[in-house]
Chains A and B, each alone.
Chain A
């Protein structure tokens, strides 16, 4: 019940295309869902985050869509660029307690020039 399932494992997109990464969770106590971008050999960097009271959040080319009833959320990268090639992780946490994250398994995105 503590798992966050992420798909696909890898994704290849043409430059200018839309990259879509999906995550699903079981524990309804999760109430904070961030997405992180990680380049090889670097630490993860926060991209965007959402709470369950919002169905969509957009920041620049990055959009999170959230479906509370389905317990799913997704990251959309619009106008994907070669510089977006990285590994993306979704995560979930609960407000009560220590705010520790449960991470998804990651998606390796490659954007072709």
Chain B
């Protein structure tokens, strides 16, 4: 149980285009999802906390208009990187917390590698 998927796993795009990454909780309903960014050989940096039906809460220094997050349902959150540039190239990982039990535990998706040319 507690499986989180991400799509796509790999994406290459041209500079200036927008890219959407989906995060789904497959076997549970997640009221809260988190989006992280990870550079090579570095730790995970929290970008934003996403709650179903409400606006995402962004961490300090993360551009809200650059990284659009939509948590439209209890099983789906999306991250859209708008007008992507090479510096946005990174590994993006989502996680979801399991409600009704140990809500502190986050289950992570497999990640999406974004390369902006």
Interface residues of A (CB under 8 A from B): 32, 34, 36, 41-46, 49, 89, 93, 95, 98-101, 103-106, 108
Per the bound structure, the CA–CA distance linking A99 and B104 in Å amounts to 5
- Does the CB pair A99–B103 fall under 8 Å? yes
Sample (10) of A-B pairs whose CB atoms are under 8 Å apart: A34-B104, A42-B111, A43-B95, A43-B110, A46-B107, A89-B43, A98-B32, A99-B32, A99-B106, A100-B34
Shortest beta-carbon distance from A26 to chain B in Å: 17
- Does the CB pair B49–A100 fall under 8 Å? yes
Q: Which bracket fits the contact residues of B?
A: 20 to 34
- Does the CB pair B108–A45 fall under 8 Å? yes
- Does the CB pair A99–B107 fall under 8 Å? no
- Does the CB pair B43–A104 fall under 8 Å? yes
Per the bound structure, the CA–CA distance linking A95 and B32 in Å amounts to 14
Would A99 and B97 be within 8 Å (CB), given that A36-B108, A46-B105 are in contact?
yes
- Does the CB pair A105–B43 fall under 8 Å? yes
Shortest beta-carbon distance from A62 to chain B in Å: 15
- Does the CB pair A98–B108 fall under 8 Å? no
Q: What are the residues of chain A within 8 A of B4 when measuring CB–CB?
A: 43
The 8 Å CB contact of B111, one of A34, A41, A103, A105, is A41
Shortest beta-carbon distance from B18 to chain A in Å: 23
Q: What are the residues of chain A within 8 A of B104 when measuring CB–CB?
A: 32, 34, 49, 93, 95, 99
- Does the CB pair A106–B42 fall under 8 Å? yes
In chain A, what residue has the closest Cβ to B49?
A98
In chain B, what residue has the closest Cβ to A10?
B41
Shortest beta-carbon distance from A68 to chain B in Å: 17
Would A98 and B43 be within 8 Å (CB), given that A42-B110, A49-B105 are in contact?
no
Q: What are the residues of chain A within 8 A of B109 when measuring CB–CB?
A: 43
Q: Give 19 new A-B contacts, CB below 8 A, not counting A43-B108, A44-B108, A98-B51.
A: A32-B104, A34-B105, A34-B106, A36-B108, A42-B110, A43-B4, A43-B6, A43-B109, A44-B93, A46-B107, A98-B32, A98-B57, A99-B32, A100-B49, A101-B44, A103-B43, A103-B44, A105-B43, A106-B41
